[in-house]
Structure formats: structure tokens, C-alpha cells
Amino acid sequence: MQKFLKILRFFVAPVALALAGPVVAQASTAAPDALVRDLTADVLDTIRADRAIANGDVSRVQKLVDEKILPYVDFQKMTRLAVGRGWRSATPEQREVLTREFRTLLVRTYSGALSQVKDHKVEMGPFRAQPGDMDVLVRTNVVPSRGDKIQLDYRLEKQDAGWKIYDVNVLGVWLVENYKTQFAGEVSAGGVDGLIKSLTDRNRQLADAKKA
Amino acid sequence: MSVARLTLRGCIAFAVLVLASGCATLPPNAGQDPRDPWEKYNRNMFAFNDGFDEAITKPLAELYVKLPEGVRTCLSNAFSNLRGPSTAINNFFQSKPVEALSDVGRFAVNTTVGIVGCFDVATGWGMEAHREDFGQTLGVWGFEPGPYLVMPIFGPSSVRDAIGIYGVEPFLDLNFYIDYPGIEYTVLGLRVVNERAELLPADRLVREAALDRYSFIRDGFLQRRRSLVYDGNPPRVIDPDDEDDGDDAKAPAPARSTSSGPAQTKPPGEPGDGAGKPVDAKPGDAAK
């Protein structure tokens, strides 16, 4: 019995920590603009401090994305909006696979961009929101050490667990909007399963290319 | 080498490129998107441009990035400076006198203190860079983009932007007023290569992220231009299909019974959506 408890303690500590991490992160009640400001500052600091990321170490970038960014992103909503009408005819299983594959694609393609970040700074744009708002726009500019500012805006929704990002705007281009036509095309050609297949194939292709 | 022979060579190279690029594969619903009625032509031109880019522009851009970063920054600054007067004039046309004046000051400072634009001194002095062109001005004046149009070699555009950028803009651009053809065309060529070089990192991202590169680039271009017309803050377009039922875990909702939702919060849908109810909007209104 004593031994069992010891083993249990060994297990409990890391598991509790692992669970508490995301819970603490998700239960953010901070104002949405403060959340975005702190989140981006945190990510930029981490990149500045970690030379491995600047050198393009994929696993370090992945860790950064998993730990710092993903807890604040609602991929399910992002996927539902991008899939549009097809979402309604998708089964719960299909919705789950769609969300997972879309997330994989986005994380894989956009984490490459993170390793390009050097001594960038973030400027907060004007923020207008009423106290009762459930859906807000947070505007920022990324300022590189040389060259033009990069517009980077976020849409957030207030959920039980706090504010979650569900869309991102880079230089005037909203991510969800930019996938809508492509996703609708895939669904009309091959149904929801056709879209799942395209996403899965693309992810496998990218994973193979990285290995090679 | 005589001009005639040069021209002949150019023609042959052009023909080879056209043949090599072949015809684009067309999706079955090509041309049904109201924003892109010329999709069949556009996709073919897109494929041709890809071939041209692979053969000529991209290799030049890859050579160009081997130049020291300081040199490239200098050139890039100087090239933006050539557009300074145009940006000022367009800001004036768009009834933004404060920005227009700042652009005039910016041009004056960077041309003199910044040595023909090589150093961007003005940004540090509080005169921020703007980027305006006559396509945006037409948009501010209320002209719709019209059909999407892939220009030969230059790539994505729309009818409005083609008129503004390729029809009017050259006359506002200082490049046009360099009276030595040798210098004029060298600068023009370098500008194209410089701009292409700046897109090299985005290239890879688009190739990885897009399921269909053509529509990814088209939709990105149209969104970006609309955003620029509104100086980065366009009114939101809400898709009537974006009902927020919040019960994602449940089985498919029965038909579209809930989709009409509160109509007042849902302006006309995006043009690509046949089911969108264009309440009292002109066609193409949403894509403004």
C-alpha cells in the first residue's frame, strides 16, 4: 500500500501539473486586448531568448506553439466558420477530424513564419469594445527592425473559459475567409469526406517533405 | 545584336513559355463565382505566369537576395521613395490632407537627407510610410473592383485595379519621368525583382497552406485590396451561413431552418455563396 502511494505520488505531480497548465491558461479572465498584448509579448520574448527557434528548430517552435498559443485558440470555431455550410452536414466524428487536420495544417505552415521573427515589436492598435461584448476585434501591428509594419489583427470570442482567438488577419487578409472558397469547392466536389481527404493528404505530404 | 533579332528571340522565348506552361486544369465550377466570371482565362494566365516566374523572375529574385542586406534595404527604400509623390497625390484625392502633407514631407526629407531615398529618415521623424495607389483611390470614390483579372506577367488584379494601377499609376510614378531610357528601364526592372524578392518567403507558405493555390491567392488579393481601400479597417462582412448555434457536438442540424437568424445583424453574404440572401444590396456590394 505504502509503495502504491509512492508510485501514485510520482504520477500525480506531473499529471496534475500537465492538467493545471492548460486550465490556468484557459481560465483567463483578462480583457481581450490585454490577453493579446501579453500573449504576443510572451511569444516574442521566448523567441528572443531561445536561439534554437531562430535557427529553425522545428520541435522547439512546435513546443512554443503548443504551450503558449494553442490554449488561447478555438480551432473548432475556426474550422466551423471556414467549412461553412458543409459543417452542418458533417457528423460529430467528421467535425472532429476536420478540426484536427485543419489545426495541423495551420500549425505546420505558420510555425515556419515564427522562426523568421527576430527583433520584432508589437504595437497595440485602437481598441473599441463595450463591457457586454462577446465578440471583439483586437488590432495590432508587428514592427520589424527594418521595413514596413505588418498589420496583425485578431477576432476573439468570450467563452466560459475566457477569451479565445478564432480568426487572424494578416495584412488585411482574414484566415477563415481565405479558406472558405477552397473548402466549399472541396465539399461540393467530394463531400465532407473529400475535404477531409485533401487536408489529410496535404498534411501527410508536408510531414514527409520535412522528414526527407 | 540588332533590335529585330532581339525581338525575335523574345518572341521565341515567349512562345516556348506559353507552350511549356500548358493549360491549367479547370475545376468543374470554374466561372461560377460572381467575383471571378473569367476564371477559365484567369487560371490559364495564372499557369502561364507561374511558368514565366519559375523561368525568369524568381531566379533573378533569388540572385538579388544574395546582395548584402544593407544594399537591398537601400534600394527598397529608394524604390518606395519613387512612389512617394503618387502616395501623396492619392491621399489628397482620397480627402486625407493630413496624410497627404505628411507624405510630401516624407518625400522631401528622404530624397534630400536620406540621399535619394536610400535611407528612411522620415519614419524616425514621425512621418510614417503609407502606400496608396490610384486603384485604392478609385475604390474610395466608390468604384467596385469588378471581375477578378489575372494580368499577364504582373499577376492578380481586378478591372478597377488594372485601370488604376496599370492605366493611371505609371503617370504618377517618378520612374516614368526618368528621361534616360537606359536608367528608366533598369530601375523598373530592378523594382520588379526587388518586389519579387520580398515575396520569396511568402511563396513557400502559400504553397504549403493552400489546397488550391489559385483561389488562395485570388481570395487573399481581393481581401487585401478591400482592406487597403478602407486603410486596414474595412466593415465586417458576415456570412449568413455563420450561424453560431453553439451546439457543435450535436448531430447535423436539420436542414437550414435556423439559418435565417436575426437578419439585421447579418448583412448580405459573401458573393461566392449562392444561398446568401442579397437583401437590398447591389451585386458585388459585399466585395467592395
Q: Select the residue from B241, B244, B256 to test the A interface by mutation, using most A Cβ atoms within 10 A.
A: B241
Query: Do the Cβ atoms of A185 and B241 come within 8 Å?
Result: no
Q: Do A146 and B241 touch (CB under 8 A)?
A: no
| CB within 8 Å: A178 and B223 | yes
Check residues A5 and A137 and name the one with the higher pLDDT: A137
Reported as a single tens digit per residue, the pLDDT across A22-52 is: 444 444 568 999 999 999 999 888 888 888 8
Taking the CA of residue A178 and the nearest CA in chain B, the distance in Å comes to 6
Cα-only R_g, chain A:
19
- pLDDT for residue B7: 53
Q: Is A91 an interface residue toward B (CB < 8 Å)? A: yes
How close is the nearest chain B Cα to the Cα of A161, in Å?
14
Report yes or no: A183 at the B interface, CB cutoff 8 Å: yes
Alpha-carbon dihedral sign for residues A137, B148, A113, B127: negative
By the 8 A CB rule, do B40 and B30 touch? Answer: yes
CB–CB of A110 and B205 under 8 A? yes
Q: Which of residues 191-210 of B touch A (CB under 8 A)?
A: 201, 204-205, 208-210
A86-90, A204-208, B19-23, B280-284: the lowest-pLDDT one: B280-284
The pLDDT, as a whole number, for residue A50 is 85
Share of chain A above pLDDT 70, in %: 85
CA distance B18 to chain A (A): 27
Q: In 3D, which of A172, A185, A109 has the Cα closest to residue B220?
A: A172
Could you give the ipTM of this predicted complex?
0.82
More confident residue, A16 or B56: B56
d(CA B116, nearest CA chain A) in Å? 17
B129 CB-near residues (< 8 Å, 6+ apart): A148, B80, B106, B120, B122, B123
Rounded mean pLDDT of chain A? 84
Q: CA–CA distance from B246 to each of A77, A117, A177, B249 (Å)?
A: 9, 36, 20, 8
- Asked if A66 and A199 count as a contact pair (C-beta separation under 8 A), the reply is no
Angle value at C-alpha A180, between B136 and A88, nearest 5 degrees: 145
- How far does B197 lie from chain A, in Å, by closest CA? 14
* Under 8 Å between Cβ of A181 and B214: no
- State how far the alpha carbon of B130 is from the alpha carbons of A147, B127, B134, B188, in Å: 12, 9, 13, 21
pLDDT value of residue A22: 45
Q: How far is B56 from chain A (nearest CA, A)?
A: 26
- Residue B226 near chain A (CB below 8 Å): yes
Q: Does A81 touch chain B (CB under 8 A)?
A: yes
Residue B185 and residue A57: Cα distance in Å, rounded? Answer: 42
What pLDDT is recorded for position A86? 94
In the structure, what pLDDT confidence band is assigned to residue A175 with cuts at 50, 70 and 90?
very high
Give the Cα separation of A177 and B219 in Å (integer).
Answer: 8
In chain B, which residue's Cα lies nearest the Cα of A152? B232
Tell which of B213, B242, B250, B256 to mutate to test the A interface (max A CBs under 10 Å): B242
CB contact under 8 A, A139 and B219: no
Residue A132 backbone dihedrals phi, psi, to 5 degrees:
-85, 0
Q: Shortest CB distance from A185 goes to which of B129, B201, B212?
A: B212
Tally A–B CB contacts below 8 A.
98
Query: Which residues numbered 139-168 in A keep a CB inside 8 Å of some CB on B?
Result: 139, 146-148, 151
Reduced to 3 DSSP states, what percent helix, strand and coil does chain B have, rounded to the nearest 5? Answer: 55, 5, 40
User: The pTM is what?
Assistant: 0.81
Give chain A positions within 8 Å (CB) of B242: 81, 84
- Flag if A182 and B212 touch (Cβ within 8 Å): yes
Quote the pLDDT of residue B246: 46
The residues facing A66 across adjacent strands are none
pLDDT at A173 over 80: yes
Question: Residues B52, B23: contact at Cβ < 8 Å?
Answer: no
Q: Cell numbers for B283, please give them.
A: 451585386
Task: Give the pLDDT of residue A145.
Answer: 78
pLDDT at A21: 44
pLDDT digits (tens), chain B, 288 positions? 454 555 555 555 555 555 555 567 788 888 889 999 999 999 999 999 999 999 999 999 999 999 999 999 999 999 999 999 999 999 999 999 999 999 999 999 999 999 999 999 999 999 999 999 999 999 999 999 999 999 999 999 999 999 999 999 999 999 999 999 999 999 999 999 999 998 998 888 899 999 999 999 999 999 999 999 999 999 988 777 665 544 444 444 433 333 333 333 333 333 333 333 333 333 334 333
Q: CB-based contact (8 Å) between B256 and chain A?
A: yes
Q: Among B227, B251, B273, whose Cβ lies nearest the Cβ of A172?
A: B227
Q: Which residue has the higher pLDDT, A150 or A114?
A: A150
CB contact under 8 A, B224 and A172: yes
- Interhelix angle B84-93/B69-82, rounded to 10 degrees, is 40
User: Could you give the C-alpha distances from A191 to A88, A89, B104, B169, B272, in angstroms and in order?
Assistant: 12, 9, 55, 45, 18
